[in-house]
Structure 1
Amino acid sequence: MRVIDFRLRPPMKAFLQMVMYANLARTEHMARGIGFTLPRSVREASFDLMLEEMDEAGVEWGVVPGRISPVLGTIEADDIAAIVARRPDRLIGYAGIDPVDCRKAIAAIDAAVTMGMKGLVIEPGLSSNPMHLDDARMYPLYAHCQDLKVPVLFMAGGNAGPDVTYTSPEHIDRVARDFPHMKIISGHGNWPWAAQMIHVCYRRPNIWLSPDMYIFGGMPGAQDYINAANGFMAERFLFATAYPLLPFKDGVDTFLRFPLKESVIDRVLYKNAAELLGLKG
């Protein structure tokens, strides 16, 4: 079974100063809340152990997302590039972009593409000046991403902003409508609005859905995500563990116990992500 993990934060560089590693008690609490325990690689902050655990789970590739946020921490594109350079045969970088200053953001997008980043992470709700995804100030950035044909991952669910409105699917819906040729990934699947977000995906064929941790542990809406993967979202659904929040093998094994059609499993675990990332084979 081949797997691509679309949200993987290795224990290296500035990730270690971010809340997910700096406060392991919090991370452990979140993991236990959805039925998992932290793997050894996280407890020991070991990159090599992480690779061994990926191998054990059949995870061939991981997407490493950058972040620029005073709320949850920052990892710059240079750090993402250095992590990917450690194992370019296993890891793919998405650069975090600070959207607050439009001119600087556009320059950062160009720099990230030049560095070889395969996509971008834009999280306006977590910025120093929180904005919804469809804030007009964001639109020049989206136009540039669309022109460059570079995919954009939004952290659109969970703790995506100062209040629950930042996860509301209406914002990503408008962005997808106004930029129909920009490939959009909904990180965290716009949880907790699972049913509403699936409706948005039905209307907007340029959105890929990645609920990651929110499909596990009997979270409200989890069955809606599974139904979508079995149906019209079979070719736009992405698997992710949100490591270090979930261990690879337990995450994959649990996912395989969901009532998924045999015909969609390889697509959801590997092929959809491979196509989006431009991987061969």
Structure 2
Amino acid sequence: MPIVDFRLRPPIPGLLALDVPYGRAGRWLPTRLGVQFPRSAEERSLELLFAEMAEAGIATGVIPGRTVPPGIANEEITGFVREHPDRFVGVAGIDLANRKQSVAEVERAIGELAMRGISIEPGFQSPPLEVDDPSVYPVYERAEQLGVPVLLTMSLFLGPDIGWCQRNTAKLDRVAGDFRRLNLVLCHASWPYVETAIGLALKRPNVYLSPDLYVIDMPFAESFGRALNGFLQDQFLFATAYPLRPLKETVDAFSALGLSDSILEKALTHNARRLLKL
């Protein structure tokens, strides 16, 4: 089956310049977890990445934008996607510092750059924002009007302390209720507050979970498996978080979780294609 990797950051200049995922901070987590940095990432080689994608059965990689300084321009992501339209789709990074500029960039990214969604990181803003901050609501509203998903990076590394993730996962209940036609994707699935995230997805069908590296050999991973065998099967998005995990190893480990073929197809392919209108 043609797998969609919902979080794959290729070694292109704008991403290579970021401390996460390619700098010292990006390498810290794989080292901490005992995971090997992929050869293609070590050598910063697109050719090796394409070979690793083919070996893993990954047909499409979703590239999320990022505005945390120095950030990566949405134009760079779009330019790369246009060079490799059969391998990648782009999601625009949106800086939330200025309300009018944020909404304008959403419109430009979707309308002019043909990106497939938007990515926001309220916890990485300076100062950090809450996900239900009134200044963010116009961004949610415009994305809902345009029919594109909003990706939110949600994990223990966001915000001024670990409590930000727990508090804001709960607050997304209100956001999802206020924008019922807007699909929200929790990248990293609010790890370690997995139960709250799963409960949110149960209550709100417009909330998707993408735990990426946290679903393999990590505490609480079994909770995702139980939910996947039930209500979460249509709201789960597979991702490797490359280069934080190697592609084939992650695909193989996920495929060995004991899920049925039909659920695997949803998690690995169908849910992402439906959400991104591929």
TM-score of the superposed pair, with normalisation by structure 1? 0.94
Is the 1:20–1:244 contact (alpha carbons within 8 Å) kept by the matching residues of 2? no
Cα distance in 1 for residues equivalent to 2:257 and 2:34: 14
Query: Residue 164 of structure 1 aligns to which amino acid in structure 2?
Result: I
Higher mean displacement: 39-48 or 166-175: 166-175
Question: 2:162 matched to which residue of 1?
Answer: 164
Q: Determine the structure 2 residue equivalent to 1:90.
A: 87
SS at match of 1:185: strand
Give the secondary-structure state (helix, strand or coil) at the position aligned to 1:108: helix
State the shift of 1:102 in Å. Answer: 0.2
Match of 1:204 in 2: 204
How many Å apart are 1:34 and its aligned residue? Answer: 3.6
SS at match of 1:238: coil
Correspondence for 2:131: 133
After superposing on structure 2, the runs of 4+ consecutive aligned residues of structure 1 that deviate more than 6 Å are none
3-state SS of 2:189 partner: helix
Q: Deviations over 1:169-188 (max 9, x none)?
A: 21221111111111111100
Question: Tell me, which stretches of 5 or more residues in structure 1 are unaligned?
Answer: none
Q: What do residues 207-238 of structure 1 show as CA deviations (whole Å, max 9, x unaligned)?
A: 11100011122x22111111111110111100
AA aligned to 1:95 is: A
Shift of 1:32: 4.0
2:194 alignment counterpart:
194
Amino acid at match of 1:191: W
Which residue of structure 2 aligns with residue 124 of structure 1? 122
Which piece of structure 1 moves more, 263-272 or 93-102?
Answer: 263-272
Provide, for residues 103-145 of structure 1, a one-character-per-residue CA deviation record: whole Å limited to 9, x for no partner: 0001100110121000000111111231011112211111111
Equivalent residue letter for 2:187:
G
SS of aligned partner of 2:92: strand
Instruction: Name the counterpart of 1:181.
Output: 181
SS in 1 for 2:186: strand
More moved, 44-53 vs 255-264: 255-264
1:262 match: 261
Q: 1:34 to 1:262 in 2, by over 3 A?
A: farther
- Stretch moving more, 149-158 or 100-109: 149-158
Q: Which residue pairs with 1:62 in the alignment?
A: 61
Amino acid of the residue matched to residue 91 of structure 1? F
Cα distance in 2 between the residues matched to 1:173 and 1:163: 21
Matches of 1:261 and 1:32, distance apart in 2: 32
Give how far 1:166 is off: 2.5
Distance in 1 separating the partners of 2:28 and 2:61:
24
Alignment RMSD: 1.4
Give the aligned residue type for 1:19. Answer: D
Do structure 1's residue 146 and structure 2's residue 150 form an aligned pair? Answer: no
Fraction of identical pairs, as percent: 39
Equivalent residues of 1:84, 1:93 under 8 A apart: yes
The equivalent of 2:107 in structure 1 is 110
* Alpha-carbon distance change, 41 to 242 in structure 1, aligned in 2, over 3 angstroms: same
Q: Distance in 2 between matches of 1:83 and 1:146?
A: 26
Partner SS for 2:234 = coil
Tell me, in whole angstroms, the C-alpha distance in 1 between the residues paired with 2:22 and 2:179. 37
- CA displacement at 1:23 relative to structure 2: 2.5
* 1-structure distance, mates of 2:155, 2:110: 26
Gaps (5+ residues) in structure 2?
none
- Residue 7 of structure 1 aligns to a residue in which SS? coil
